[in-house]
A and B are shown apart, each in its own frame.
Chain A
C-alpha cells in the first residue's frame, strides 16, 4: 500500500504515462484506420456473438458457425447496398434524362412560378427574381451524377476496409472466449476477480445496448416503411420505400441527430419523383398547410415514427441498458461528434455507458478495498 503513495514512484508513473501518451499521439495517424477497423469488427462481433453461440450449440462446430454467421450478415449487407445504390442511381439517371426534355423544363418552370406566385408577398420578396429553376437544377443534378460516379474511385479503399473488418470479425468471433481469457490473464492476482467482474459487466452492458438499439432500429425501419406506404396510398409516389425505411432505421442508431438524417433520402426521392407534377406541388396537409412534393407529410410521418419509437419502442427494448441521463447523452454526443464526426456520435453513447460501468466498478472497488 505504501509503495503506491511514494512520491517518487507516483512521479515515475506520471512520467511514463506522459511518454506513452506522446508515443500514441505520434503513431496515431498510422494506426487510426486499423483501430477504427478493430472497433467496427468488435461491434459486429458483439452483435453476432449470440447468433454464433446459438449456431455452435446446434451444429457443434465453432468455425463453421462463425463462417455461416459472417457469410449471412455480409451477404445481406452487400445485397442491401448494391440494391439501394443501383436503385438510387437509376432514379437519379431517370431524373436527369427527364430534366433534359424541353417540355418538362418549361412545365417545371411554369409550376415553380405558379407556386411562388401563390406564396405571400413577404416570402416572394425574399426569392431571387428572373430565375430559371430547371437550368440550375439540371446543372446541379449533372454534378450529382458525376459525384456519385466519382465514388467509384473511393470504392477500392472501401472494399479493402470492408474485407479487413470481415477478417477481423471472423477472427474475433472464432477466438472470442479465448481472447477474453487471455485479457483476464493480465489482471494481477489481487484484482483478478474484480477485473473479471468489470470485464463481464462491460461486455453485458455493450451487448445489451447494441442488441436493444438494433431491435429499436429494426422497429423504426418497419414503422417508417408502413408510414411511407400510407403516404404512397395518399399519392406521394415514393419509390425505394424499403431502402428508405432501412436507412431511417440505421440513422436512428445515432441519437437526436439520426432521425433527421433518416428523412433526407425520403424527401429527395419525393422531390425527384414528383417534380413537374402540379398536384404534388399544390398538395396541402391537414387541408390548409401547403406541403409541396409531400415534404411536410414526410416530416410529420417521421416525427410520428420518432414519437412512437421514443415513447414506446426504445424504453421497452433498450430501457435502462445504458441508463444515462439525457443530459449526459447530449454531452457524450457533442464530444463524440466534435472528435470523430458522425462516427463519433454513433460510438458516443455506448462509450459513455462503458465509462459509467468502469466508474461504478472503481467506486465499488474503492469502497471494498479492504476485501482485496
Chain B
C-alpha cells in the first residue's frame, strides 16, 4: 500500500506532466515553454466545471480572459435580432477561445455555452499582467505566442477576403 506521508514528501520530485500541463502544451498560446514555465502558468490557471447548457460568457459582456477546454465541448455562437442562432464554432478537448480578451477589456463578440459536462481552464488578463511584472520573460513568451495566433488568424482572414473578392 502506498504511504500518503512519503507520497506528499516526494510529490515535488514527481515531474511527470499532469492533465492541465498536457492540455496547456497543446495550446499555441502556451507552446514551447520549459517545465518550470508550465508549473508557473499552472499556478495562475483557474479550473472551472460547467454543466451541459451552462453559459461560459455572453455576447457583449466585458471579457476578462481566455478559456482552454480540458474535457467536454463548448459551442460558440451569435444570435441575430430575431433570435436565430448562428454557430461559429464547436470546440472540444485542447481547444481554446476568448483569447482576444487577454489583450483588451473590450466586450465579448460571441456567446459561449458548454454543450456537455465540461472542465475549462481559465487564464485571465490581470494574471497575465501580474506575470509580466514578476516574470517578464515568461509573460513576453505568452504575448509573443498570442501575437503569432492573431497573426495567423489575420493572414487566414486576408486569404478568405481575397478569395471572396476574386469570386
Contact = CB atoms under 8 A, between A and B. Distances in A.
A57 B48 CA distance: 29
B62 interface: yes
Nearest to B105: A197
Contacts of B65: 193
B117 interface: no
Interface in A167-189: 177-178, 181, 184-185, 189
Nearest to B135: A57
B25 interface: no
Q: Interface residues of B toward A: which range?
A: 20 to 34
B60 A371 contact: yes
B124 interface: yes
B62 A184 contact: no
A192 interface: yes
B133 A181 contact: no
Nearest to A52: B134
Contacts of A371: 58, 60-61
B64 A196 contact: yes
A200 B44 CA distance: 14
Nearest to B51: A189
A199 to B, nearest CB: 9
A189 B54 contact: yes
Contact of B64 (A190, A197, A372): A197
Q: Is the interface of B mostly helix, strand, loop or mixed?
A: mixed
Given A53-B134, A196-B126, A177 B64 contact: no
Interface residues of A, number: 21
B62 A193 contact: yes
A278 interface: no
Contacts of A53: 130, 133-134
A189 B48 contact: yes
A177 B60 CA distance: 29
A311 interface: no
A201 to B, nearest CB: 9
B152 interface: no
Contacts of B127: 177
A258 B111 CA distance: 52
B55 interface: yes
B136 interface: yes
A101 interface: no
A94 to B, nearest CB: 50
Contacts of B56: 189
A368 interface: yes
Contacts of B61: 193, 368, 371-372
Nearest to A371: B61
A57 to B, nearest CB: 5
A139 to B, nearest CB: 58
A193 B133 contact: no
A181 B48 contact: no
Interface in A240-255: none
Given A53-B133, A177-B44, 17 more contacts: A54-B133, A57-B134, A57-B136, A177-B127, A177-B130, A178-B43, A181-B46, A185-B46, A189-B48, A189-B50, A189-B55, A190-B55, A192-B46, A193-B64, A200-B126, A368-B62, A372-B58
